[in-house]
Amino acid sequence: MNTEFKALQPILISLEDFLVLPETEPASEYIKGNITQKPMPQGQHSTLQGKLVATINQRGEPEQIVFAFPELRCTFAGRSIVPDIAIFEWEHIPLDANGEIINRIEIPPDWLIEILSPDQSPIDVIDKISFALKNGTKLGWLIAPQERTVLSFQGDRFNSHRGEDLLPVLEGLKGWQISVNDLFNLLNFARR
């Protein structure tokens, strides 16, 4: 009997091969030749995601400033990521000849928001945000519900925000202000 064990090596596939695989639930991402499945969203994650998408679109859609998409696959610069929320400035939303959004998004979002799940690696999420910033994303938020903290990323800078700190938003939304407390108050379902 052969008792020699060989270390299992991850199987790397091409981006093209990844993109023809069936979608998974929750979504899988393609990063550096590896496929990683995102964690299943839980209560706080789902609530923040849904309410932030609605809030951003309430502010940005009527004036055609920005539009927020939940779980939109964005494939660019050799990776295929699925931000929790991908926000595009109106003029960057990829459209077909009929003015409808196309299915394959091959550009980075202008702003991406990630909501940290309890067993998710913050380093991997920061790496994803950093990669997007290096490839054209203007703003990234990493929301950490357990710490009641938001990290914001712009260019090569990042800041930690808590309490009444106002969060940075895209230039076109400068009239909208949201503090960290405002953001986490979205989780409150207490009867009034």
All domains of the chain in start order, with CATH? 39-185 (3.90.1570.10)
pLDDT of residue 162: 98
Looking at residue 10, its pLDDT comes to 61
DSSP string, 129-170: HHHHHHTT--EEEEEEGGGTEEEEEETTEEEEE-TTPBPP--
Of 69-78, 138-147, 154-163, 183-192, the range with the lowest mean pLDDT is 183-192
What pLDDT score was predicted for residue 192? 67
**Cis (ω within 30 of 0) for the bond into 41?**
no
Would the pLDDT of 11 be above 80?
A: no
pLDDT band at 12 (very low <50, low <70, confident <90, very high): confident
Instruction: Give pLDDT, residue 7.
Output: 47
Each residue's pLDDT tens digit, 85-126? 999 999 999 999 999 999 999 999 999 999 999 889 999 999
Instruction: Measure the CA–CA gap between 113 and 90, rounded to whole angstroms.
Output: 17
The number of residues making up the chain comes to 192
- Cα–Cα distance list, 145 to 45, 162, 185, 187 (Å): 8, 11, 11, 10
Under DSSP, is residue 143 helix (H, G, I), strand (E, B) or coil? strand
